[in-house]
Structure 1
């Protein structure tokens, strides 16, 4: 049953991609298809990365309401953008080589995440709650510092920071996209190799250890994959925190299984489908040029509130 539903999800993504590429296609068709394919690839890369990372993080945290963004990825990204604009000015920021900026941002995000994970979990991976709370506090601190720095900017520079604070898919560099795709493929392969171990890890440390699972090593490996996926997608297009919550929740609802070998690709496909269909409706049907991530964040925020306020069922 789960395999058939997974295949159906894949077919939906293929049809959504075909609509995105060929809907209302006009001359010069080759040039337009090239632009659309680049944007489609960016949507799929980000959707797959965020969907996969969220399932991994929720399994390790044993909580389906959390996303990797809660440990401060988006706040650190905005803080980096604000700091660069403050130091270099708007013209200097615009003159930065895009590939170098992408590489530095990815490395900083990965290094910060791995440092946080390593310091807080050095004595064992049984204190995920402390990791989450520390990440929340660091995120609040970084947002406060970024907000203070933004008050020192002139209006044009502030507008540059605001634009960089939301995920945008309209101007993705092809070289960056190729690098991000390579990181995604390797990270997804690593996640799938961890799938069976994550099935045991989801039972909790106390249950997994007697079954022979090296729980601490699995947790660190999964968090490293999360760091790579989220850092790369964030550096590529910007932060889009609640997409993962949507993808993960729908994957658990659609796929009646606890096996990560099915949940991981399911969430990845759903994440990509949400972005592709959302961009198609937003751009092709409605003719709007606003930021898709705003709508995704709004829908994800509503889902988060629903999950928080929903009363548990009593059998």
Structure 2
């Protein structure tokens, strides 16, 4: 009886939290669309609606991928960035501007072409690691993460070398691609990203019950009839494609998923990942909208969204480390 009462309290508290976040999201959306009493013209309104859609996509991807990845790895301090995908993205952009830009006679590829190329190369990079990952999954995820982090360090070192020897004009163009931008997103890319995001997030949502079992540990999951290695590989593929989509769409946002996942764990006392997905996505949407509003209307674009997120993420990371140390 006491257990049922506790579960009811948890569900009620989660429902209240969802209602609060939904109200905050509605208020923030209304203020972003109509900051003054006058109604903006159709062009400005359409532009703002597209930006809101980008914030929603980034929030969904950051929440779903980070929570799923942490469930697979069993570590709440890790994010999908340790797989080296974002470092590989930086290396690709550096290589293009340092070497291939000259061959293309200074003509940049179309947005859709660049988007598909970036996504394909990132997926191909993970595919090349897949045989090794399948072989090492039985020995634990830590060795895989160590190898991926080593590759990420290698990619960052190569990118830094290319940026040092790069022409200053090309370096300026590179920086515009490496800093996450939620402002200028091509419409045809946005619609393709919407399809990819909602399809793969729906798959991860259905995998929520499998992730709940992962919470009990790998051995217990096997005892319950879960093919752990197969499920891990499938979930990692969904995570990789979603992270590649987000990175190709707006650029690297490393700390956002870490902030959303760990804030969600603190706010929701529930192990069910389907609930964590929903709360984390709503929280991410509200956070991005508030931060972007501050950047546009308070700081007048003097700082970027990425700067504010990384500053907050770094402070939050050290806070969690301090909190974990006090438990010891």
Give the SS at the match of 1:310.
helix
Q: Are the aligned partners of 1:44 and 1:273 in contact in 2 as well (CA < 8 Å)?
A: no
What's the CA shift for 1:302?
Answer: 1.6
**1:177 is the counterpart of 2:186:** no
Give the C-alpha shift of residue 4 in structure 1. Answer: 3.1
Distance 2:134 2:286 in 1: 34
**Per the alignment, do residues 250 and 135 of structure 1 end up closer, same or farther by CA in structure 2, a change over 3 Å counting?**
same
- With over 3 angstroms needed to count, the CA separation of the structure-2 counterparts of 1:149 and 1:113, relative to structure 1, is same
Specify which of 229, 250, 253 is matched with residue 263 of structure 2. 250
- Unmatched segments (≥5 aa) in structure 2: 1-11
- Structure-1 residue corresponding to 2:56: 44
User: Which deviates the most, 21-30 or 199-208?
Assistant: 21-30
Which deviates further from its counterpart, 142-151 or 81-90? 81-90
Map 1:268-279 → 2, pairs under 5 A: 268-279=281-292
Q: Choose which of 235, 254, 259 in structure 2 pairs with 1:241.
A: 254
* Deviation per residue, 1:126-153 (Å, 9 max, x gap): 5210111111111110010011111221
CA distance in 2, matches of 1:25, 1:109: 45
RMSD: 2.0
Further displaced range: 235-244 or 262-271: 262-271
Conservation of the 8 A alpha-carbon contact between 1:126 and 1:205: no
1:211 matched to which residue of 2?
A: 224
Aligned equivalent of 1:7: 19
> Which has the higher mean CA deviation after the structures are superposed, 6-15 or 178-187?
6-15
Q: TM-score, normalising length from structure 2?
A: 0.90
Map 1:274-289 onto structure 2 (within 5 A): 274-289=287-302
Q: Deviations over 1:149-183 (max 9, x none)?
A: 11221111111112211100111001101111111
Relative to structure 2, which stretch is displaced further, 278-287 or 25-34? Answer: 25-34
- Distance in 2, matches of 1:280 and 1:300, equals 18
Residue 12 of structure 1 deviates from its aligned partner by 2.0
Q: Give 1:147's aligned residue.
A: 160
Paired residues of 1:117 and 1:223 also in contact (CA < 8 A): no
The whole-number CA distance in structure 2 between the counterparts of 1:118 and 1:277 is: 42
Q: After alignment, is 237-246 or 2-11 more displaced?
A: 2-11
> 2:18 & 2:73 partners in 1: Cα distance?
25
Structure 1 unaligned segments of length 5 or more: list them: none
What are the Cα deviations for residues 208-254 of structure 1, in whole angstroms up to 9, with x where unaligned? Answer: 11111221122112111111111100000100000001100111111
CA distance in 2, matches of 1:94, 1:69: 30
Separation (CA, whole Å) in 2 of partners of 1:45 and 1:58: 20
TM-score using structure 1 length: 0.94
2:32 matches 1:20: yes
User: Which has more radius of gyration?
Assistant: 2
Query: 1:27, CA displacement in angstroms?
Result: 6.8
Say if 1:292 and 1:254 are closer, same or farther in 2 by CA, change over 3 A. Answer: same
Matches within 5 A, 1:114-125: 114-122=127-135, 124-125=137-138
Whether the aligned pair in 2 keeps the contact of 1:3 and 1:262 (CA below 8 Å) is no
- SS of 2:135's partner is coil
- Provide the C-alpha distance between the structure 1 equivalents of 2:234 and 2:181, rounded to a whole number of angstroms: 30
Query: Quick check: 1:97 aligned with 2:110?
Result: yes
* 2:121 equivalent in structure 1: 108
Q: Residue 194 of structure 1 aligns with which residue? A: 207
Partner Cα distance (2:47, 2:302) in 1: 16
CA drift of 1:313 comes to 5.1
Question: Residue 233 and residue 93 in structure 1: after superposition, are their counterparts in 2 closer, same or farther (change >3 A)?
Answer: farther
**Count, aligned residues:** 315
